[in-house]
Amino acid sequence: MDLRAPFGRIDPDRCGCDAEPGALMPVDEALARGLALVDPVARCESVPLFRATGRVLAEPVRAALPLPPFDNAAMDGYALRLSDLAGPGPWTLPVGARMRAGDPPCPLPDGAACRILTGAALPTGADAVVAQEDTARANETIRLDRRPAPGQHIRRAGDDLAAGEDVVPAGRLIGPREAGAIAAAGVARVRVRARLRAAVLCTGSELVPPGQPLAPGQIWDANAAILAAALDQPWIDRTDLGAVPDDPEALAKALVAACAQTNLVITTGGVSVGDEDHMARLFTEAGGVIHVMKIAMKPGKPLTIGRLGRTLWLGLPGNPVAAFVTWTVIGARLAEAMVGIAPTIPRKTLARLAAPLRHRPGRCEYRPARVLGYCAQGTQMIECLEAPGSHRVALLVRAEGLALIPAEAEAMSAGALVEFLPFGTAHRKDT
Ligand code: AMP
Ligand code: MG
């Protein structure tokens, strides 16, 4: 089954929101404009491989030697020279040498086999390894009944990678696979991008840090925690600036100071159309230029993106679900681009709706959804959670991803294919 067919436009870089919803900016365009504003972190540093986990490789790591560096045995057994097996079998050969992993290669004695252990260098002159279980050993001789194939059970030098090839390309986040390949190539230090300096500032006179008592009318600040968790990455150097009340003077001071100190300033709240939504005006008054606002996404319409000097400002909406969704869909992409992370796998998959749904056309909607399992054709089945609302932060905990309802859709039937953005791979169930 071709999962692309029903859409004809599945592209991990596009959001699926391609309707023209009047004055609103399509999500794709908001993302593209945001990416065009990115001024990548240029500074690099050299760090020990063992301290490089989660950092972004700034330049490719090259293999100085082939990988593996020498021909070696893939099995415990006996290395031999095929020309020593004259006539029809069975053949008997004396065991004339012994090679363990780590021993320097030795020549294979004429007319003899060499006892060899996995990973040991192949004796010069040997052209096959016979597995121990395919031989019968008596005293210092082995007997074999079947002629080995040339090159059998030999791992050739360079069969993983040739000398001079890239072991890991630039732009990779260093995880276990990358670290293993870099170490296998003998490289102990890597050049990585300097950490992205990001500041998080929440706005709202109603906000109280969790752990402190609430006065009437106040709420606990959820966004600072959402963004602290989202930005808790080895490639980000995050500053938590806490919450600032809706006082234009205090907000302007905090915003300008944050922009002066970091590459990326993320604020939440104060970007909508209410009387106390001051952020866009304050940003402009401080000399910033706004490039993105009023997005055709739900939640997330008030998302505002601008630049002040070399600093990118992301004004996320105040509602926690909207802050989370706009960060996930757009903010994270911009942050990754700022340190040159080259995405390797599509973020989105396709999934089928388990139940019909209705949607008001106009904005691309990101609905919290749960994965139910797989249909007979192997496509994921998802269930959109009931009555989403951009304040329902607890609902997000029950979701496993966001289903993208295209802007133009009015009703979608059960079984319809939608794009699905899973939250991550941690804590997945086995089935
Ligand atoms: P705003 O975008 O500032 O108008 O905020 C929209 C809604 O989100 C309001 O109900 C706010 O009280 C709520 N809100 C704003 N910031 C936060 C936050 N940091 N944590 C939890 N709720 C918030
Ligand atoms: Mg507010």
Question: HEC states along 218-277?
Answer: CEECCHHHHHHHHCCCCCEEEEEEEEECCCHHHHHHHHHHHHHHCCEEEEECCCCCCCCC
Phi and psi, residue 313, nearest 5°? -110, 125
Residue 196 alpha carbon to ligand 1 centre in Å: 26
Q: Which pair of structure tokens corresponds to residue 380?
A: 């994921």
Q: Can you tell me which residue has the tokens 């990326």?
A: 264
Q: Which pair of structure tokens corresponds to residue 173?
A: 């986040």
The answer to whether 206 touches 245, Cβ cutoff 8 Å, is no
Q: Which pair of structure tokens corresponds to residue 334?
A: 């911009």
Residue among 368, 386, 279 nearest 328 (CA) = 368
Q: How high is the pLDDT of residue 353? A: 97
Whether the CB of 299 sits within 6 Å of ligand 1 = no
Decide yes or no: CATH 3.10.20.600 for domain 72-155.
no
Pocket test for ligand 1, best of 218, 219, 267 (most atoms within 8 A of CB): 219
In the 8-state DSSP scheme, what is residue 206?
T
Q: How high is the pLDDT of residue 416? A: 96
Which atom in ligand 1 lies closest to the alpha carbon of residue 270?
Answer: 3
State the Cα–Cα distance between residues 269 and 246, nearest whole angstrom. 9
Write down the domain spans for the chain. Answer: 12-44+194-338, 52-66+160-192, 72-155, 349-422
What residue's CA is closest to ligand 1, atom 14?
318
Residue 396 alpha carbon to ligand 2 centre in Å: 21
The answer to whether 404 touches 336, Cβ cutoff 8 Å, is no
Residue 165 alpha carbon to ligand 2 centre in Å: 53
CA distances from 45 to 48, 202, 236 (A): 10, 31, 14
Which atom in ligand 1 lies closest to the alpha carbon of residue 206?
Answer: 12
The answer to whether 268 touches 255, Cβ cutoff 8 Å, is no
The answer to whether 80 touches 148, Cβ cutoff 8 Å, is yes
Which atom in ligand 1 lies closest to the alpha carbon of residue 246?
Answer: 3
Q: How high is the pLDDT of residue 431? A: 52
Residue 246 alpha carbon to ligand 2 centre in Å: 7
In the 8-state DSSP scheme, what is residue 399?
-
Sign of the alpha-carbon dihedral angle for 360, 361, 364, 369:
positive
Q: Which pair of structure tokens corresponds to residue 135?
A: 């031989």
Q: Which pair of structure tokens corresponds to residue 196?
A: 């992205």
CA 148 to chain centre: 44
Name the CATH topology of 52-66+160-192: Molybdopterin biosynthesis moea protein, domain 2 (3.90.105)
**Alpha helix (H) residue ranges in 124-207:** 176-184
The number of the ligand nearest the C-alpha atom of 323 reads 1
Q: How high is the pLDDT of residue 254? A: 98
Element holding 353 (H helix, E strand): strand 349-353
State the Cα–Cα distance between residues 4 and 30, nearest whole angstrom. 24
What residue's CA is closest to ligand 1, atom 16?
318
Whether the CB of 300 sits within 6 Å of ligand 1 = no
349-422: same fold as 52-66+160-192?
no
Residue among 218, 327, 202, 197 nearest 262 (CA) = 197
Residues of the chain with pLDDT under 70: 1-22, 425-431
Q: Which CATH number fits domain 349-422: 2.40.340.10, 3.20.20.70, 3.40.50.720, 2.60.40.10?
A: 2.40.340.10
**Alpha helix (H) residue ranges in 81-210:** 176-184
Tell me which amino acid residue 77 is: G
Residue 244 alpha carbon to ligand 2 centre in Å: 10
Sign of the alpha-carbon dihedral angle for 122, 126, 132, 137:
negative
The number of the ligand nearest the C-alpha atom of 206 reads 1
Whether the CB of 272 sits within 6 Å of ligand 1 = yes
Residue 62, strand partner residues: 166
The answer to whether 76 touches 117, Cβ cutoff 8 Å, is yes
Q: What CATH number belongs to 12-44+194-338?
A: 3.40.980.10
CA 147 to chain centre: 48
The answer to whether 425 touches 345, Cβ cutoff 8 Å, is no
Q: Who surrounds ion ligand 2 at CB < 5 A?
A: 204, 269-270, 318
Element holding 35 (H helix, E strand): helix 27-37
State the Cα–Cα distance between residues 39 and 233, nearest whole angstrom. 19
